[in-house]
Amino acid sequence: MAFTVTILGNSSAKPTPKAHPSAQVVNLNEQYYLVDAGEGVQQQLIRRGINPLRLRAVFISHLHGDHCFGLFPLIATLGLEGKRTPLDIYAPAPMGDILEYHKKYFWDDLPYEVIWHEVKTTEHCIVFENNTLEVWSVPLRHSMPTAGYHFKEKEPKLNVDKFKIAKYNLSISQIVAAKRGEDIELSSGEVIPNSELTYIPFKPRSYAYLSDTNYSAKAAERVKGVDLLYHETTYAQSEEMWAKGRGHSTTFDAAKVALRAEAKRLIIGHFSSRYKDHTILRDECRTIFENTDIAIEGDTFTI
Catalytic residues: 66
| Distance between CA atoms of residues 36 and 66, nearest Å | 9
The Cα angle at residue 139 between residues 92 and 135, in degrees rounded to 5: 75
Q: Using the Cα atoms of residue 93, residue 95, residue 100 and residue 105 in order, give the sign of their dihedral.
A: positive
Burial class (CB in 10 A: 0-12, 13-18, 19+), 204: middle
State the virtual CA torsion across 42, 46, 52, 56 in degrees, nearest 10: -100
| Distance between CA atoms of residues 278 and 296, nearest Å | 9
* Residue among 155, 151, 161, 184 nearest 301 (CA): 151
Other CB atoms within 10 A of residue 72 CB:
16
**One-letter amino acid of 230:** Y
Strand 198-199 with 159-160, pairing = antiparallel
Quickly list H helices, 121-171: 162-168
